[in-house]
Amino acid sequence: MGGALVLLERGGSPQYNLALEEALLRVVVEERGIALVRVWVNPASVIVGYSLAPCVEVECSEARRLGIPVVRRITGGGAVYHDYGNINVSLFIPRRMDVESVYKLGTSVVIEALSRLGLKAHVENVSDVVVGEWKVSGSAAAIKAKASLYHATLLVKANMDLLRRLVKPRLDRVLIGEVTPAKYNPANLSDLKPGVTVNDAVEALVDSALDALGVDVMGECDDPAQLLLRRADGEAVKLYESKYSTREWTYIGPSWLEAPRRRCLEASHPS
């Protein structure tokens, strides 16, 4: 694989951040064939899979009451709660992969990051990363003609009270054996291993992702890379306005346009 970009981002609106996932997939990965690692966090929000009827897995009335947006993503899967204590990692791969391979690569990155933090983890339900009986990471994927996207959450110090108030556990799926109980048994890393911080987890995720992609961080992004990212930002604004902030796509909650604060690194094969 060639070089890669690493984006470390904080804040921004949930609608814009999800629009940016789609824009990065198109502009950076599909058009230019560049691998991308994005580590980012959202303000309080609930993110649902593209095919999910939101109120099946989300307490919609509670989300409305609290003013917490419910935002649809381009990948499948169920509902997940985001806040600044729940890290998102996105791997953009510049080639088409089969679904099994995407999940194998992505979950291995999360498991290796946890190993670096002193935690032993395993995979359940194809896309969940579990420590003991506790789910600490869920993930989803999108496969395009020239690119593949894997993105996952990692619970580090999230507001578990809000998570449980907003996301409904689908115990019916457990009862029929469709998924294991861990699917709806979330926990923070900071509770499983006291002392682990969000910054610790970010560092472990970046190092693990770069090892998996076979690249190494070299320095701040150059001008061509910044130009490419400005194009992606422009595409994200268009997607925000035409799609991610609309009732037809998202259904529930306040919508606002705000870009994240970004640190951009350039990565390439080590010599």
Q: Which residues pair with 43 in a beta bridge?
A: none
Task: Please state the pTM of the whole predicted model.
Answer: 0.94
* Residue 247 CA from chain centroid, whole number: 22
By DSSP bridging, strand 261-268 and strand 4-10 are: antiparallel
Task: State both tokens at 158.
Answer: 């999230």
∠ CA(68), CA(90), CA(112), 5° rounding? 115
pLDDT mean across residues, the chain: 94
70 near 82, Cβ under 8 Å? no
Of the candidates 78, 74, 75, the one whose C-alpha atom is nearest the C-alpha of residue 53 is 78
Ordered by start, the domain boundaries in the chain are 4-268
- Percent of the chain at pLDDT > 70 equals 98
Average pLDDT of the residues in 108-113: 98
90 near 38, Cβ under 8 Å? yes
Task: State both tokens at 245.
Answer: 């902030």
Residue 216 has what pLDDT? 82
Average pLDDT of the residues in 111-130: 98
Fold for 4-268, please state it.
Answer: BirA Bifunctional Protein; domain 2 (3.30.930)
- The pLDDT tens digits of the residues spanning 158-215 come to 999 999 999 999 999 999 999 999 999 999 999 999 999 999 999 999 999 999 998 8
Q: Is the pLDDT of residue 270 over 60?
A: no
Q: Is the pLDDT of residue 24 over 90?
A: yes
Residue 11 has what pLDDT? 92
Q: Is the pLDDT of residue 271 over 70?
A: no
- The pLDDT tens digits of the residues spanning 155-167 come to 999 999 999 999 9
Count, residues in the chain = 271
Q: Is the pLDDT of residue 1 over 80?
A: no
Q: Is the pLDDT of residue 76 over 80?
A: yes
Residue 2 has what pLDDT? 56
